[in-house]
């Protein structure tokens, strides 16, 4: 079939690749001038800045890494140490730094103050969390939210709000106020693998290398925003903002739902639009910069992940030190990514500010997704939807790939990459 894929984020690109390799003719439409998936990646002192930076756990990003292996993109391991600091009006105090054990890759407390003041509380919290997670996966009731889970279990506050929740903010990149609405199951699954000591992987060449392989041999019409999609007797017609019209047999729409209503024919797709408009999204800024004030005051305490929070856990931010996980930035000036900064970042040191759209995940979206997948089973359907928002779970990138796999199954396209193991090469010299 001749298939249009609207949107070149991870879901759209994965769907396009799978359908292309299954023998379909595929055209990708992207409103931006480049590719959506790596549109925010930039060069810095001849090095690569991935925005956002992506590191992946082999269990939790199973389909994503299998797809990368299928595309022959090697990976390398990275160690994601963390530092936590209290925010004060006049100073910043680092109260915890961690490393990983050489055997088992388990997180361990690295600084004397962390051991002396919070060591027992952190160890106690870790044991409480492991016990609570074990009980959760033994019970039949696994439909609760994260807030409901934490209300049922007593877990040390400093450990939960000072160490665990910041990590979840990092992965979900969502508003801290909405994280409690998430279904607990995927978050607890993530935490289980994290506390079990599984290593994290990065793709060689970062996101641009992945996108290059995903679009290889596929026509991509960049800078071509879609204005109208409608069904006619002679097929499905897609019209862009320049007035050009294209005929297809099917279309896969891989954009956030608030954009879909801008081009789907309102009468023909009224029921779809009524469902899609119920999905909610939120936005946040990722600031790429060279301002080291987001890091611990002492250089020896710098780690890959820097978390800052007040003692009441009402204000928090996280920062990634890119030089420590991106080989092309080793030896360059220190560069950082800070998500929703609450401390002031020197405007003169800002390289770029990226606005990211994230789906709100809660019990309602779980039900909405069930209804959406049921609609996809209509044998007369010509328009399908995919994206991280259309697949419950965590992480976002993995949900996007999984949603593309759901589309492939509907089209009868083989998923040749499933189960392939990532090719892990020797880690390059990194800037720890």
**Is residue 350 within 8 Å of residue 289, measured between CB atoms?**
yes
Q: What is the DSSP letter of 428?
A: P
pLDDT on residue 102: 53
pLDDT digits (tens, 9 = 90+) for 299-358: 989 999 999 999 888 888 999 999 999 999 998 999 999 998 999 999 999 999 999 888
pLDDT on residue 90: 78
Confidence band of 108 (pLDDT split at 50, 70, 90): low
Average pLDDT of the residues of the chain: 88
The encoded tokens of residue 29 equal 């439409």
pLDDT on residue 104: 47
Q: Does residue 421 form part of some domain?
A: no
| Secondary structure of 371-419 in HEC code, one letter for each residue | HHHHHCCCCCCCEEECCHHHCCCCCHHHHHHHHHHHHHHHHCCCCCCCC
* Residue in the block written with tokens 């998500």: 339
Mean of pLDDT values over 129-152: 89
Predicted confidence (pLDDT) at residue 149 exceeds the cutoff of 80: yes
Predicted confidence (pLDDT) at residue 1 exceeds the cutoff of 50: yes
The answer to whether the pTM exceeds 0.85 is yes
Q: Does residue 431 form part of some domain?
A: no
Same domain? For 237 and 311 the reply is no
Same domain? For 83 and 140 the reply is yes
Domain that holds residue 210: 2-39+205-279+361-411
Same domain? For 129 and 267 the reply is no
**SS3 of residue 248 by DSSP:** strand
Same domain? For 299 and 349 the reply is yes
Class of residue 159 by CB neighbours under 10 A (exposed 0-12, middle 13-18, buried 19+): buried
* Residue in the block written with tokens 């020896």: 300
Q: Which of 343, 358, 373 is the last residue of a domain?
A: 358
pLDDT digits (tens, 9 = 90+) for 245-298: 999 999 999 999 989 999 999 999 999 999 999 998 888 899 999 999 999 999
Same domain? For 294 and 351 the reply is yes
**SS3 of residue 57 by DSSP:** strand
For the chain, what percent of residues have pLDDT higher than 90? 55
Closest CA relative to residue 216, chosen from 21, 22, 83, 402: 21
Q: Residue 274 belongs to a domain with what CATH number?
A: 3.50.50.60
The alpha carbon dihedral of 374, 377, 380, 384 has a sign of positive
Mean of pLDDT values over 141-152: 88
54-74 CB burial, b ≥16 within 10 A, e <16: bbbbbebbbbbbbbbbbbebb
Same domain? For 70 and 148 the reply is yes
Q: Residue 124 belongs to a domain with what CATH number?
A: 3.90.660
Same domain? For 290 and 190 the reply is yes
CA 151 to chain centre: 27
Same domain? For 309 and 253 the reply is no
How distant, in Å, are the alpha carbons of 157, 274, 414 from that of 375? 43, 13, 21
Same domain? For 194 and 74 the reply is yes
Q: Report the domain count for the chain.
A: 2
Closest CA relative to residue 363, chosen from 160, 170, 180: 180
Mean of pLDDT values over 347-374: 90
**SS3 of residue 225 by DSSP:** coil
Predicted confidence (pLDDT) at residue 185 exceeds the cutoff of 90: no
Q: Which helix (H) or strand (E) holds 152?
A: helix 146-152
Using CA atoms, how far apart are residues 150 and 133, in angstroms rounded to an integer? 10
Predicted confidence (pLDDT) at residue 211 exceeds the cutoff of 50: yes
Confidence band of 194 (pLDDT split at 50, 70, 90): low
């Amino acid at each position: 079939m001749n298939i249009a894929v609207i949107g070149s984020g991870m879901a759209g690109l994965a769907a396009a690749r799978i359908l292309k390799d299954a023998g379909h003719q595929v055209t990708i439409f992207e409103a931006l001038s480049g590719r959506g998936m790596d549109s925010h990646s930039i060069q810095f002192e001849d090095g690569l800045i991935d925005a956002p930076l992506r590191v992946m756990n082999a269990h939790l990003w199973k389909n994503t890494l299998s797809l990368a292996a299928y595309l022959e993109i090697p990976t390398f391991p990275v160690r994601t140490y963390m530092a936590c600091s209290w925010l004060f009006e006049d100073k910043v105090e680092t109260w915890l730094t961690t490393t990983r054990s050489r055997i088992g890759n388990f997180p361990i407390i690295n600084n004397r103050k962390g051991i002396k003041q919070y060591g027992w509380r952190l160890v106690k919290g870790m044991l409480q969390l492991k016990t609570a997670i074990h009980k959760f996966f033994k019970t039949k009731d696994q439909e609760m939210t994260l807030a409901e889970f934490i209300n049922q279990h007593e877990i040390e506050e400093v450990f939960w709000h000072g160490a665990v929740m910041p990590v979840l903010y990092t992965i979900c990149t969502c508003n801290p106020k909405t994280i409690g609405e998430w279904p607990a199951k995927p978050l607890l699954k993530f935490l289980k693998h994290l506390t079990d000591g599984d290593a994290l992987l990065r793709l060689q060449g970062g996101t641009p290398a992945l996108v290059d392989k995903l679009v290889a041999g596929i026509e991509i019409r960049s800078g071509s925003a879609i204005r109208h999609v409608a069904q006619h007797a002679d097929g499905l017609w897609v019209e862009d903002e320049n007035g050009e019209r294209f005929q297809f047999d099917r279309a896969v729409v891989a954009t956030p739902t608030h954009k879909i209503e801008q081009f789907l024919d309102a009468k023909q797709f009224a029921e779809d639009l009524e469902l899609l408009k119920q999905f909610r999204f939120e936005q946040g800024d990722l600031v790429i910069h060279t301002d080291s004030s987001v890091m611990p005051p002492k250089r020896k305490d710098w780690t890959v992940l820097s978390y800052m929070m007040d003692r009441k856990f009402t204000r928090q931010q996280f920062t990634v030190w890119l030089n420590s996980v991106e080989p092309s930035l080793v030896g360059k000036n220190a560069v950082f990514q800070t998500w929703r900064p609450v401390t002031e970042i020197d405007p003169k040191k800002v390289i770029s500010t990226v606005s990211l759209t994230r789906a709100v995940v809660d019990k309602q979206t779980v039900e909405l997704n069930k209804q959406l997948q049921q609609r996809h089973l209509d044998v007369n359907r010509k328009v399908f939807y995919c994206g991280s928002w259309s697949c419950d779970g965590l992480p976002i990138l993995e949900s996007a790939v999984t949603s593309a796999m759901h589309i492939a199954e509907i089209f009868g396209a083989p998923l040749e990459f499933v189960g392939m193991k990532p090719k892990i090469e020797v880690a390059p010299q990194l800037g720890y």
